């Protein structure tokens, strides 16, 4: 612990410049006396560190001195790919390792006055608009299982049922603020075909001591890209015919890039009002979801088919008319302008 602290003090002085004993003590949560002893040991080891006394004083390295002791630990190296994503790194239990890795990277930069920080110029925010990240307490355990190739047992709430599974966790993916686990079912220590599980749907998790062999050549990014493309294709394997106003055409990207692309390919000539007929992909397994998507276009879209979805949309519109219809508006206006009720 002391050796690690000595190295960290050295790197801090190299990256931040002069620091007081009080600041260093607060950084490492030790006493000021301990910091003085640590600095004495650094000096005895040949590190050219000196102290300036007074109110603006502090410890500082001799100008031009730079250490090459910036080797990264395994945990810090694993955290580097998330160095721009402090939230997800902390979710996985890698927050402290990420901070140490960033400090060592800064120490490895050449001296150029005030060293530029990548985070001051580029920031990655993986969370979609108007939504927060899912708080998931089991993520550090899942990360530990993935790093250590250890079998897990989960209780999972799927679309149709709650099931128990024994899995070999192969990786974790963050998609638009939502964590997904890629894992293979484990039977007698043999892994099956990888599948994808939404982490927030895991109701219970048990981390076993049993290790497994990762599939040779398994590529998590390649698997995810293929799975995501197949998922979108399976979900949106139906089609809907819409009549769109010019504003409706402009709003199509709110649905998806696939909807915009198919609409551009299938658009007919505009009618006298400037409306065009197009075809877009939809999810046919859920009328509610398909209707919700089309409603994003507001009054700028008329659904022409399929018939069952059009009937479902008509039902939704009738229910909305009950909330916003002229009867309610008239009653509200009468209530506002009519005579006062007797006491």
Is 5 a residue whose pLDDT tops 90?
Answer: no
Contact 11, 67 (CB under 8 A): yes
| pLDDT tens-digit series, residues 208-241 | 999 999 888 899 999 999 998 888 777 777 889 9
Confidence band, pLDDT 50/70/90 cuts, at residue 145: very high
Mean predicted confidence (pLDDT) in 282-311: 89
Instruction: Please state the pTM of the whole predicted model.
Output: 0.54
- Could you tell me which CATH number the domain at 139-233 has? 2.30.30.520
Contact 290, 311 (CB under 8 A): no
Is 191 a residue whose pLDDT tops 80?
Answer: no
Is 78 a residue whose pLDDT tops 60?
Answer: no
Is 314 a residue whose pLDDT tops 60?
Answer: yes
User: Of 59 and 118, which is predicted with more confidence?
Assistant: 59
* C-alpha–C-alpha distance, residues 74 and 145, integer Å: 16
Q: What is the pLDDT of residue 189?
A: 64
Mean predicted confidence (pLDDT) in 3-12: 78
CA distances in angstroms from 234 to 60, 110, 281, listed in the order given: 62, 51, 11
Is 300 a residue whose pLDDT tops 90?
Answer: yes
Architecture, CATH, for domain 2-61:
Orthogonal Bundle (1.10)
CB atoms within 10 A of CB 40: 11
Is 155 a residue whose pLDDT tops 60?
Answer: yes
Confidence band, pLDDT 50/70/90 cuts, at residue 98: low
Instruction: For 315-339, give one letter per residue: b (16+ CB within 10 A) or e.
Output: ebeeeeeeeeeeeeeeeeeeeeeee
Q: What is the pLDDT of residue 133?
A: 60
Q: What is the pLDDT of residue 341?
A: 39
CA distances in angstroms from 45 to 11, 19, 50, listed in the order given: 15, 20, 13
Confidence band, pLDDT 50/70/90 cuts, at residue 115: very low
Confidence band, pLDDT 50/70/90 cuts, at residue 166: very high
| pLDDT tens-digit series, residues 118-137 | 455 656 666 667 666 666 78
Q: What is the pLDDT of residue 94?
A: 56
User: Of 105 and 325, which is predicted with more confidence?
Assistant: 325
Q: Are strands 238-244 and 301-305 parallel, antiparallel or unpaired?
A: antiparallel
Work out the mean pLDDT of the chain and round it to a whole number: 79
Choose from 62-71, 224-233, 301-310 the range with maximum mean pLDDT. 301-310
Q: What is the pLDDT of residue 114?
A: 46
Helix, strand, coil % over all residues of the chain, rounded to 5: 45, 25, 30
Of 25, 29, 18, the residue nearest 53 (C-alpha) = 18
Q: Of all residues in the chain, what percent carry a pLDDT higher than 70?
A: 72
Q: What angle do CA 303, 307, 311 make, to 5 degrees?
A: 75
Q: What is the pLDDT of residue 29?
A: 87
Q: What is the pLDDT of residue 307?
A: 93
């Amino acid at each position: 612990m002391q050796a690690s602290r000595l190295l960290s003090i050295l790197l801090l002085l190299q990256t931040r410049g002069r620091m007081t004993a009080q600041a260093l003590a607060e950084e490492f949560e030790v006493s000021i006396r301990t910091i003085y002893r640590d600095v004495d040991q650094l000096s005895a080891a040949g590190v050219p560190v000196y102290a300036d006394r007074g109110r603006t004083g502090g410890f500082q390295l001799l100008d031009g001195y730079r250490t090459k002791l910036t080797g990264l630990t395994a945990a810090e190296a694993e955290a580097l790919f998330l160095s721009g994503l402090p939230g997800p790194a902390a979710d996985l239990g890698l927050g402290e390792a990420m901070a140490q890795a960033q400090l060592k990277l800064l120490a490895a930069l050449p001296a150029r006055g005030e060293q530029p920080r990548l985070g001051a110029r580029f920031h990655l925010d993986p969370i979609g608009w108007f939504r927060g990240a899912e708080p998931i307490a089991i993520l550090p355990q899942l990360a530990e299982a993935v790093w250590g190739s250890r079998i897990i047992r989960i209780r999972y709430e799927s679309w149709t049922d709650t099931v128990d599974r024994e899995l070999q966790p192969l990786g974790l993916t963050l998609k638009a603020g939502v964590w997904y686990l890629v894992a293979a079912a484990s039977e007698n220590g043999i892994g099956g075909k990888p599948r994808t599980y939404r982490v927030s749907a895991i109701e219970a998790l048990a981390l076993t001591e049993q290790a497994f062999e990762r599939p040779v050549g398994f590529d998590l990014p390649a698997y995810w890209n293929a799975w995501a493309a197949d998922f979108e294709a399976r979900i949106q394997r139906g089609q809907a015919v819409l009549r769109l106003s010019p504003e409706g055409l402009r709003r199509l990207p709110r649905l998806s890039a696939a909807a915009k692309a198919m609409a551009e390919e299938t658009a007919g000539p505009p009618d006298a009002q400037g409306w065009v007929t197009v075809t877009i992909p939809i999810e046919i397994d859920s009328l509610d979801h398909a209707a919700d998507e089309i409603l994003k276009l507001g009054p700028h879209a008329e659904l022409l088919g399929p018939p069952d979805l059009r009937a479902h949309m008509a039902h939704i519109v009738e229910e909305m008319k009950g909330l916003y219809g002229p009867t309610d508006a008239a009653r509200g206006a009468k209530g506002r302008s009519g005579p006062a009720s007797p006491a």
